[in-house]
Structures are given as C-alpha cells and as structure tokens.
Amino acid sequence: MLLKCERIPWKALCVISVFQVSCSTISTNAREGRERREQSSDPVSGSGAMVASTFRATAIAAVRQPVTTIKLGIANVWNRPREIIVGNLPFHLHAEAVPEVAPGTPEFEALLDRKKFPQSQRGSIKFLVDGRSFFPELDRQIASARSSIDCQVFIFDNDDIAVRTADSLKRRGNEVRVQVLFDDMGSTFAYSAPPSTPAPRGFAPPVDMRDYLRKDSNVQVRRSLNPWLTCDHTKLFVFDQRSAILGGMNIGREYFSEWHDLMVRVDGPIVASLSREFDRAWRKAGPMGDFALFEKPAVFRKPPPAGEGIPLRILRTDAAEGRHEIMEATLLAIRAARKRVWIENPYFAHDEIVDAAQDAARRGVDVRVVIPASGDSKIMDGGNLATARSLIAAGAKVYRYPKMTHTKAMICDGWGSLGSANLDALSLRINRELNLAFSDAATIRDFENRVFKPDFRRSKLMRLADVQSPTAGLAEILADQL
C-alpha cells in the first residue's frame, strides 16, 4: 500500500488524498477519546510531525534520492491508472494458461529459476504466531546479540510497547552496534493514532521515536524516505548476521496484543543475504541516499555450510529496482495449483490475483481465503467484501476471522509464501516489500497446522448473503489504489 498504514488517523486523510496516497487504511482506531489519547501524540505536535514528514518525502527525498524519485514517479504514473482500467474491464485481459508443473515440486522450483527469480538459499524457519510469540523472541534476540542488532520496520510506534522495545535497544546500544530503520511517513502518521488498549497510567508518548531512540544512547537511527509518498513496508530484524526475523509485524501495541499476525525466525546461510538486504536499505536511507549504493558495502560474515536447513527463496517488491517478484510468483503459483490455494491476507484487492483465484476455483481447486471480520480501514473492508463476493460466486470458500488478522500467508499445493506484502496494488507493484517462499513438505505441514487450520476453525464461513454491500463496488475501485 502506498502508506499501508496499519493504522493511520482520519485527520491524515487530507494530507494523503492530496498526493493520491493511502496507507490502505484510514484507521478506525484513530478516534481520539479522552480515555485513549495518552497513547498517541497530541494534535499540535502530531500535525507538525506530519508536515515535517511530508517535506522530507518531497524536497529531501528528491535531493538525496533523485534516481529513486524518478523511477517511483514512473511506477506510480503507470501502475495507478492501469489498476483502475484493467481491473474494471468486463473480461480478463490477463488470463494465462495453467503452467505444466505443480507448486511445491522440484519442477516448479526449476521453473522459478528459469524465470530468473532469486535463487533459493538454505535456512531454517520457525513460525512466530501473534505478538505472544514474536515479542518474547525479539526480546531474547536483543538480549543475546553479541555484535550487532539491525532493525527495520514500517512503523516504530510511540506507544508503551514501542517505548519498552526502544529502551531494550538503547541498553544494548552501549554494548553492541544497534541500527534502527523505520519508514518516515508510516511511523509519523502512526504516532497520532492510538491503539485500542489504554496506556499505563501516567504514560506520555515521545513526540518522535528517532529522537527518543538516540537520546542518551549509542543507537543509530535512520528514516526511510518516501519519494512520491511511497513506502518501505519491510519488516526485518537481523542479529549478529546469524539469525533473522521477518514477516508482517511492526513495533507497537496492535502487534503485541490486539491483532492476529505472523513472523518467522530464520537461521542458516540465507541470513547473510537478509543482512545484505538490510545494509542496502540502511545505506540508501543515509545522507548520501542513492549515491551511497556506489560505496563498498559492509563486510559480511561467512555464511554457514550450504547444506544447513531447507531451500528458501527471498522475494521482493521494489519498483525502483524493477522487482515485482512477489506478485509474479504468487500469480504463477495460483495458476499452477492443482489441489489447493489457501490465502490469508488483511487487504485482498489486486485484480489479477482475484481473477487467478477465481479461475482456480472454477477448475476444481480448493480455494480458501481468510479476511478480517473488521479491519483497520472501512474502504479496504469494502474492497474485501467485493473480492469475497466474486470468489464465493466462483466456488471458493471465504472465511471471516473474528478480529483483525494482519497475517500475510499463502499455500498453493506444496508451495508456501509469507512476509510483509498485502494482496493489493501498492504491495505488489509500488511499495517495497519482503516475502519468503519455500516448498519443503515438513515445513508446509507445520505452516498448515500453525496458521491455516487454526484460523479456519476460528473463522466463520461466509455466504453470498454475507457479502452484499451497496458500496462494495465503489470500495473495490478505491481499493485498487490503496
């Protein structure tokens, strides 16, 4: 999403709409009742921070990142009208033949190799479902790091959970190198939108987490800039270049205890590549911007032996680099599926993905989709209903999770994918995203048992009568842009 906010306040809509931007959410959590206001910035400081962030996204970004600014401008000009036009044609402009090989097979992996997707690398993954699993693991990794802690998130909030994490990083910053990178606009807008849970009595949120993290500490902090108000939606933590965590969660109370979400811990040789991914984003976010990429990168440790773990494939959306691997691999897997397509995603609005899932259902594939009962954006809720209606009409099963699910996960036959990307135009064509794909049979079974089967049981199967909405069609058109 272009500001895929995962919680951006209503008052930010004016700024966002002027630039034709949305975070795919105009937050329903942003009602600033007296009992919750202490978890968010006051209106004056919040508005000032938004103005400063917008200035950095335009003037500062154009100076530091001229090449990126030009490329992202072209991507926006091309992809935004394209989604409206193609998505509302009375026929499938992008229908393609079913590939000859099934997802999860060695032949499918070979097909991805031939199509020049990033090569698989060895590693092991451990599923971290919800904040109750992720945050304790994050705490353990921060406490045990021996040389370096690299953190990249879309939102580093300013609520009590974010301050708690920041304090842990500040303590370790006196002992090891700590680098924190967060998206400028994503975090700034989030400061003014309180979570549903009240703050501890007496808690006062910092105005700017960059300043808070740097105060009286050795923590290095940078903001990802936002040319054309596009975002870096990546969530990636790397510890000692030996272990990593990635997925859909940011640093804040929603992810700690309010929303359903997914991260994975990654170990093994692939972590060296994930560390390089962080290093590239870190250098680009510095004073030299695009020009820093010509510098010699940091020295990375030698990866463990290649035989350790299972094959894992890093997939990216990065419009400035011409990378749309998440969308292309997702489409290929759905079109190739013979037995099942299981999807869980909070924002399902990308027309090509919807069309591919419909086609799969019509040819007898077990298509199941989990969406939130009520998300953090009324527009995206309407877009989800429009998607649900078309999928149910095609024979798919659509489930409504009882609360906000922010999980981004998919299984096609024996091939799985998870990470930061939503199924919308911004995640798949414009914003910067990070996913991980795999086809190891035991890991796919664990994925089923830890994520999909429990969520199917918790969710309500929807009928056509449940998805009727007079505004769903309009919401779907708007969702193409969000």
Domain positions in the chain are: 10-479
Q: pLDDT-based confidence at 79, cuts 50/70/90?
A: confident
* The CATH number of the domain covering residues in 10-479: 3.30.870.10
Q: Which residue has the higher pLDDT, 302 or 318?
A: 318
Q: In the prediction, which pLDDT does 68 show?
A: 95
Q: Which residue has the higher pLDDT, 416 or 9?
A: 416
Beta-strand pair 121-129/177-183: unpaired
Q: In the prediction, which pLDDT does 433 show?
A: 98
Model pLDDT for residues 211-265, shown as the tens digit of each residue:
999 999 999 999 999 999 899 999 999 999 999 999 999 999 999 999 999 999 9
Long-range contacts of 137-145 (CB under 8 A, 24+ apart): 137/245, 137/263, 137/265, 138/165, 138/237, 138/245, 139/168, 141/237, 141/239, 141/243, 141/245, 142/168, 142/169, 142/172, 142/239, 143/168, 143/172, 144/239, 145/172, 145/176, 145/239, 145/240
Q: What are phi and psi of 433, to 5 degrees?
A: -135, 160
Q: In the prediction, which pLDDT does 11 show?
A: 35
pTM, full prediction = 0.89
Q: Identify the residue whose tokens are 């003037």.
A: 59
Q: What are phi and psi of 453, to 5 degrees?
A: -60, -45
Query: 15-19, 69-73, 318-322, 384-388 — which is least confidently predicted?
Result: 15-19
End-to-end CA distance of the chain: 5
**What's the CA gap between 380 and 225, in Å, rounded?**
25
Q: In the prediction, which pLDDT does 6 show?
A: 62
Q: What are phi and psi of 128, to 5 degrees?
A: -120, 95
Angle at 71 between CA 68 and CA 75, to 5 degrees: 130
Q: Is pLDDT above 80 for 453?
A: yes
Q: Which residue has the higher pLDDT, 427 or 43?
A: 427
Q: Identify the residue whose tokens are 């089967």.
A: 453
Model pLDDT for residues 356-401, shown as the tens digit of each residue:
999 999 999 999 999 999 877 777 788 899 999 999 999 999 999 9
Q: What are phi and psi of 387, to 5 degrees?
A: -65, -45
